[in-house]
Structures are given as structure tokens and as C-alpha cells.
Amino acid sequence: MTRLARPSRRVSLAGLLTAALLATPLIATTTPAAAQPQAASTPALIPKPVSQQALDGQDFTLKPWSIVGVASSAKESRAARKVADQLTAQLRRSTGYPLPVIPLVPGVADVKLSTNGPASLGAEGYQLRVDRSAVSVTAATPEGLYRGVTTLRQLLPAKADAARRQTGPWRVAGTTIADSPRYGYRGAMLDVSRHFFSVTEVKRYIDLISLYKLNKLHLHLSDDQGWRIQVDSWPRLTTYGGSLEVNGTPGGSYTKADFAEIVRYAADHYLTVIPEIDTPGHTNAALASYADLNCDGVAPPLYTGTDVGFSSLCVGKDITYSFLDDVFREVAQQAPGDVIHLGGDEAHSTPHSDYLTFVPKAAALVTKQHKRVMGWQEIAETPLPAGSIAQYWGTDDARSQELARKAAAQGAQVVMSPANRAYLDMKYDDSTPYGQDWAGLVDVKTAYDWNPSTLVPDLPESAVAGVEAPIWTETLDDLDKLEYMAFPRLPGVAELGWSQASALDWTAYKDRLGAQGSRWDILSVNFYRAPEINWR
């Protein structure tokens, strides 16, 4: 244990180095890369942090005797400790080192994790410093610490993410990083209705999206082809309405225990689950399960095709609202986040005047559960409760843009999911083996090269809550296909959500993206090796 005694000189040396860096920002930032060859370990982070400076000659190496120290308030100690445990659990697998976690004692720990940073860092912000003596991640909350540890994972060699023991060295290039997100809403949506995905598969998707600092997991839980969440007061929704999926293969649904497991796993990855019950269209699975929900009292058959816009709840019937009251109550109980998504898209079989009647009534049933209303952009046609969120899915068309402005004009926030950029189910090019192309072909550059705050003309920047990358699964029936469509595009949308507008640059991003390839190989991600990216 003698190695624990560190010369205090090192601390002041580190302080001097920081001071020197701060005093010479022009030299530090304008030296041409060519004149100063970058070390092989130069970290390529996605999303790009707000600021990052190299500390040359200050590489840190994780050693078999390294110790992880955690500092936090008593109130946050469990959550902070959990972040440390997640990091060390993975690093123990790949390095084989014991990596004990202890309460932080200054000068003892090699990896220092603290939630005692200043509140000015914000809930998700963090500072990270790597020098010869230690790695420190400092945040004001456990969530900020988690984001910082996510960065640390990317700073480590890719093989640190391996499931089995690898050989070192476990070197991290010296650096200082200060970071916080541009937007509070950074989501991914998974359609588990068209094709059902098991709890294990959803967890894998969570593992992958959380690497890029997303904080919302929107689950599209009901549609024409299947109802996927248990509602005790309407059991046939899942027993019958969830029995199939597209092409007639067996579907499935989440029991309350299953859903709780997803919510917990998402929360452990600092992702809030946003449950979507799509209404009044996209409801064939419910209409098939309960004849009384239909205007004519006749239940349609289950549907396993891929058309949209043919089903509608019966807006004039009282049972429609007692049904939704029960559904939103039980869904609210299962999803602790503050938002419920009520769909509202493509209600082509709902007369327009009915749509205008329906949405405010459905929205009131959501707010009755003390949840904020989220819905696809069409809901902006109707008056929305305070705190609502409209999800833009336009393709630069005037009508969608108008809906986004209408949402903002009534005080709602807008989440940007432009179908011709952020839809991960669009084909990359015309040789992509699955996916759709109704919104166009979306190559890696197209998915990245846009600005969420200026996409819709005359939409106030303050109305933009963030971004979301949806993946619809009409043509995607397994995890390999999901991964192929999401990677490498999803990290680009994640960067749009996190990084400052001034940091967005396709040429530089493309290079950082190429460096993710080795990590995805280690994680066995079935990513599309887009030919325009230099994978390594």
C-alpha cells in the first residue's frame, strides 16, 4: 500500500499545467494538427464535448492496483456509488483488475468520481480531467457523473468495453474536458408494435443508445399491428391485441413486471421511458380486442400488414374515454417519467372535426394523471395543455413546419424528428436491404448535417426541446436489423442533441465516427459500414 502515498508536488504541478493552458489558449488551439502529430490515443468523442484540451505527456494508465473513489452528499451516495459500480463492473470484466470502490480520500484514489461539483455544471454537466496521477470526473448530480463516466468509457481503449479479459495497457490520454448538453431532450424511439422486441432486446438497445448520452427512450407501445403493454382493466389488449406482429408472426407484450424491468434498466442508464399509446388512429389492435370501442360495434380482424391510416377510435362514444382513462392511468403507474405520448399522427380515418374534439379530451386524461402531454406534430391543430410537447416529423414540407410553429405559438415545446433526416428506418441508399424510403434516402451525412434549432423557419429557438431518432419496425424484425439501421446514424442525431451548434462539422464528425467502429466491433454491433466513413 506504500504506493498510495503520492507526492503533493504532483497536485501543484497539475495546477500549474492548467494555469499554463489557460494562459496560452491561442497557442494551444491554433497549432496546426500537421505540425504537432496527434498521439494514436487521441480520443475521438461522440458527442463532441463543449471544450476539450489535451494535456500532453500526461497520459494516465489504469493499473492492477488502481482504486476508484466516490464523493457525494449523503442523499446522492447510493446513486453515485451505482455509477461507480457500473463503470468498475465493466472494467473488471475487460481488465481483470479488482478496482475496489471506496469513499473518496483525496490523494488515494486513481479514479475520482464526485457529485460534489458546483451547481453551475447543471444537472447533466461534468468536468473531466485525466493526468498522470489520476482521472477525475466531477459533476453536480449523479446524472452528470453518469454522463462524465460515459465520456471516460470513450477515452479508454475500445477493448475496455469487451466482455472478456483483454491485455492492457489501459492508457487514457491526458485531457481536460468541460461539458454539458445543448438540449434537455435527446431521445430514441423504438417501435415495438410492428415487430415486438423482448425485454432483453430492449436492454441491448438501451446499452447502445446510452453510449451517446441520450436521455429519453420513447417506446411506441401500441399500433394497428399490436398492443404491447399490459393493462389489467382491459386484458384482451395484450392477450389478443398483442398476439401477432407484421407478417403474422407471433407478437408479444410486456407484463407489468417486464415493463418495470425496462423502466429500471433505462433509469440505470439515465434514460427516462416515454410510453406512447397511439390514438385516435393506429388503433386496430385495440379495436380488434374490444368490439365496443368501434362505432359500429363490430371488431375488425387483427392486422398484420403495413398500411397506415385506416383505423380510428370512435370519437363520439363515451366508452372511448373510459377506455383511455383506464389505459393512461395504468400506463402512468408503470412509467415514472413526467410525459405520456398520445400519438395523434396520421389519423386519416378520423374526420377532422372529430380529431379536433378528440385530442383535447385525450390530453385531459393524460394531465389527469399528472403527466405532460406529448404527441406527434398534428396535435398542434388543437389547444394543448400547458407543458405539452409536439414531435415534428416533417420532411421540410410547409404544412409540418406550420404545425411546429402552431405548437410553439401556444407555448408547447417541439422535439425534432424530421423523417428525412432522423428516421432510422429510412434506407441509407437504394441498396439498403430493409427499411423504407417514403421520406427519402438518409445517408450518414444527411442524418447529421442539420441544426435542430433552425430547421423550421421562424420557429423560436426557445421552443425547441431537442431531438429524437425514431426507428419504426415494419421491415425490421430482429435486433441485427435494428442495429444496422441505427448505427452509424444514431450517434449523429445524439451529437446534434448534445453538442453546441458551433461544434457541428461533418468533416470532423466523420473522422470521429470512424473511430467508433472498433468499439462496435468489440460490442458486436451489427453496424452498417457506410463506405464514406474511414472505419478503424
472 near ligand TNX, judged by CB under 6 A: yes
Residue 417: name the closest of 466, 382, 374, 373 by CA: 466
Give the relative orientation of helices 199-210 and 256-268 as an angle to the nearest 10 degrees: 10
Instruction: Please state the closest distance from residue 423 (CB atom) to ligand TNX, in A.
Output: 6
- Give yes or no for residue 425 binding ligand TNX (CB under 6 A): yes
Q: 201, 261, 346, 402: which is the annotated catalytic residue?
A: 346
On whether the CB atoms of residues 270 and 143 are closer than 8 A, the answer is yes
Q: How far is the CB of 196 from ligand TNX (least distance, A)?
A: 15
CB 87, min distance to ligand TNX, A: 37
Residues 497 and 126: their CA atoms lie apart, in Å, by 16
Tell me the sheet residues that pair with 470: 189
Residue 487 touches ligand TNX, criterion: CB under 6 A: no
Kindly state the smallest distance separating residue 398's Cβ from ligand TNX, in Å.
Answer: 17
DSSP string, 398-447: HHHHHHHHHHHHTT-EEEE--HHHH-TTB-SSTT-SSSB-TT----HHHH
Q: Which is nearer to ligand TNX, 62 or 426 (CB)?
A: 426
Tell me how far, at minimum, the Cβ of 403 lies from ligand TNX, in Å: 12
Check binding of 308 to ligand TNX (CB under 6 A): yes
Tell me which residue of 175, 13, 16, 10 sits closest to 107, measured CA to CA: 10
Instruction: Pick the closer one to ligand TNX by CB: 185 or 376.
Output: 376
Q: Does 276 bind ligand TNX (CB under 6 A)?
A: no
**Number of residues counted as binding ligand TNX (CB under 6 A):** 11
Closer residue to ligand TNX in complex, CB, 323/472 = 472
Of 8-16, 283-291, 418-426, 526-534, the segment contacting ligand TNX by CB under 6 A is 418-426
Residue 226, CB half-sphere, CA atoms under 13 Å: how many? Answer: 29
The least CB distance from residue 309 to ligand TNX, in Å, is: 8
Identify residues 332-351 at the interface with ligand TNX (CB under 6 A): 345-346
Strand partners, 103: 70
Residues shown for the chain: 536
Indicate the helix (H) or strand (E) that contains 275: strand 272-279
Binding piece for ligand TNX, criterion CB under 6 A, among 30-38, 349-357, 419-427, 495-503: 419-427
Rounded to a whole number, what is the distance in angstroms from the first to the last CA of the chain? 39
60 to 99: interface string for ligand TNX, x by CB under 6 A: ----------------------------------------
SS3 73: coil
Calpha distance 54→28 (Å, rounded): 9
Strand partners, 464: 414
Output the CA angle 271-272-278, nearest 5 degrees. 125
- Annotation says 474 is catalytic: no
Binding mask 369-408 for ligand TNX (x = CB under 6 A): -------x----------------x---------------
Q: Does 448 bind ligand TNX (CB under 6 A)?
A: no
Binding ligand TNX by CB under 6 A: which of 41, 86, 436, 500? 436
Q: Which stretch binds ligand TNX (CB under 6 A): 70-78, 101-109, 295-303, 417-425?
A: 417-425
CB of 311: closest distance to ligand TNX in angstroms? 11
CA distance 414 to 466: 7
CA 427 to chain centre: 21
Spatial distance between the Cα atoms of 378 and 149, rounded to a whole number of angstroms: 38
Give how far the C-alpha of residue 430 lies from the chain's centroid of Cα atoms, to the nearest Å.
Answer: 27
User: Minimum distance between the CB of residue 194 and ligand TNX, rounded to whole angstroms?
Assistant: 7
Residue 268 backbone dihedrals phi, psi, to 5 degrees = -65, -25
Active site residues: 346
- For ligand TNX, the binding residues (CB under 6 A) are 308, 345-346, 376, 393, 419, 423, 425, 436, 472, 474
